[in-house]
Amino acid sequence: MTTQDQEQDPLVKGVRLHGDRVRRAREEGEPSVARRLGQIGVLGWIIVTPMLIGIFAGRWLDRVFQSGLFWTAPLLMLGAIIGCWSAWRWMRNA
């Protein structure tokens, strides 16, 4: 086993990961309640904002083309899908 292999060994990596987590927990502590609430609020806006954008764009297109709900409904759905997808991605990063 070369030095490089030893550095890449899962046991060494696992130990370092654990050490980093413990050190970070000691330095930063548990996040405050306000911060957690802020995170939850951001999550809500991430989902809602693309839906609102979808609705406004759909309304405008419908007014331009005189087409009732033809554009509003699909753009609302598209906004919801984009919102949920980006919320999921954001949650995995956090």
Partner 1 sequence: MRLRIVTPLDVVIDTPDIRALRANDATGSFGVMSGHADFLTSLTIGVVSWRGDDGSPHFCAVRGGVMTVTGGKEIAIATREAVAGDDLATLDQTVLARFRADVETERAERTDSIRLQLNAIRRIVSHLRQNGRGTADFA
Interface residues with partner 1 (CB under 8 A) are: 1, 6-7, 9-12, 14-19, 22-23
Q: Which residue reads 């030893």 in tokens?
A: 6
CA distance 85 to 82: 5
Closer residue to partner 1, CB minimum distance, 7 or 85: 7
Cα separations in angstroms, 16 against 1, 26, 92: 19, 15, 22
**Residue 68 zone, left/alpha/beta (φ > 0; ψ -120 to 50; rest):** left
User: Residue 3 Cβ, how far from partner 1 at the closest point, in Å?
Assistant: 8
Closest CB to partner 1 among 9 and 31? 9
Query: CB 28 → partner 1: shortest distance, Å?
Result: 17
> Which of 64, 94 has the CB closer to partner 1?
94
